[in-house]
Structure 1
Amino acid sequence: MNRTEHLGLMARYNQWMNAKLYNAAMSLPEAQIVLDRQAFFGSILGTLNHLLAGDTIWLKRFAQHPTQHPALAPLQQVALPQDLKTLLFPNLDGLWQQRQWLDQLILDFSQSLSDADLDSSLHYTNTRGVVAERNVYALLVHFFNHQTHHRGQASTLLTQAGVDIGDTDLLLLIPSAL
């Protein structure tokens, strides 16, 4: 599996896992979704909002790359989150609609990448105002790793609320070599 295929796999995993998380969360009453569980982002809703905010911020950065990937053009209509803790959507329904749209955009973007894109650098300003430059492939690996990290937190919060989201292993999506 080459790098672009790997990123496509990670985009499919992101989409699959988000659907599992949201389906599990939607089985709970709203009071359980917004309950402050003393997690880093407070509630299940807060954690899912953080994931959406982080993904949006990174994708808007990737959209500023000189290659101007057409798959990211729809992001021009999306406001840049002010920080990583703001509730972008006060309820799960609105958040889920945006999540589905963004996950398809991530999949389309990942499928449009070339090796030349991955070998290039991205200049960006982080949320603290610090200017940085990093390799695009390394940033995309970080992007997908960040998602996995916080989905793990959301999965734990759902488990504590009595909801089992089922299998979460990436292995289930890796094609067989046979």
Structure 2
Amino acid sequence: MSSLDHFRLMAPYNAWMNARVYDAAERLTADDLARDRGAFFGSILGTLNHLAAADLIWLGRLAAHPPLSGRIELAGLPQPTGIRFIVSDELAGLRPIRERIDRVIVGFVDGLTEADLVGTLAYRRVDGTAHRKLLSSVLSHVFNHQTHHRGQVTTLLSQAGIDVGVTDLLALIPDID
């Protein structure tokens, strides 16, 4: 599988899993969602906000990259100033933003070429540190980051008595005839 095909698998998987997590989270009360459960970002809602904020930060960096200019539409979306930025203080407000972020990611990845993936992305971290990284490596990080924190959320949901169900990427990989 090429890197491009891999990302074209990961983008819809990412959206599918986010929808499953949000469906599960909607079964909890606002208090349960906001309860500090000792995770990196405290609560289920805090972790979901972190994921949305981080994706928006990365999409902003990608949108500002000259070879990718015009391929990512972020108008009307929040512009986080850090990884603890609160995109929405309630799940009902966060979900439509998450869904739009996922549509943007899928559309962006669908428009990429192999040549794009070997390009260098120059960006600054929130703390101002400058970096230059291979675009394909950055995209790997973005999807890995989602998986990492979604795993935390599914654990927190499980501890709250909510089963997210199947979470494996394998569920979206077609059988070979």
> Which TM-score applies when normalising by structure 2?
0.96
Give the drift of 1:85.
1.1
Asked if structure 1 preserves the Cα contact closer than 8 Å seen for 2:116 and 2:135, the reply is yes
Distance 1:4 1:97 in 2: 27
2:29 corresponds to: 29
Where does the alignment leave 5 or more consecutive residues of structure 2 unmatched?
none
2:65 corresponds to: 65
Aligned length: 177
Aligned counterparts, 1:75-114, within 5 A: 75-114=74-113
Does residue 116 of the first structure (1) align with residue 115 of the second (2)?
Answer: yes
Asked if structure 1 preserves the Cα contact closer than 8 Å seen for 2:77 and 2:97, the reply is no
Q: Which consecutive segments of 4 or more residues in structure 1 shift more than 4 A? A: none
Residue range with higher mean Cα deviation, 80-89 or 136-145: 80-89
RMSD: 1.1
Distance 1:151 1:52 in 2: 11
Distance 2:130 2:160 in 1: 40
1:49 corresponds to: 49
Q: Which amino acid aligns with 1:96?
A: R
Where does the alignment leave 5 or more consecutive residues of structure 1 unmatched?
none
Does residue 157 of the first structure (1) align with residue 156 of the second (2)?
Answer: yes
Distance 1:86 1:136 in 2: 24
Asked if structure 1 preserves the Cα contact closer than 8 Å seen for 2:78 and 2:87, the reply is no
Give the drift of 1:31.
1.0
Distance 1:15 1:76 in 2: 20
Q: Deviations over 1:94-131 (max 9, x none)?
A: 10010001101100001000011001000000111100
1:37 to 1:95, Cα distance in 2 relative to 1, 3 A: same
Asked if structure 1 preserves the Cα contact closer than 8 Å seen for 2:49 and 2:85, the reply is yes
Q: Which amino acid aligns with 2:23?
A: N
Q: Which amino acid aligns with 2:6?
A: H
Asked if structure 2 preserves the Cα contact closer than 8 Å seen for 1:69 and 1:109, the reply is no
Q: SS of the residue aligned with 1:156?
A: helix
Q: Which amino acid aligns with 1:47?
A: T
Distance 1:170 1:69 in 2: 30
Aligned counterparts, 1:134-149, within 5 A: 134-149=133-148
Distance 1:69 1:131 in 2: 20
Give the drift of 1:70.
3.3
Give the drift of 1:69.
4.5
> Which TM-score applies when normalising by structure 1?
0.96
2:170 corresponds to: 171
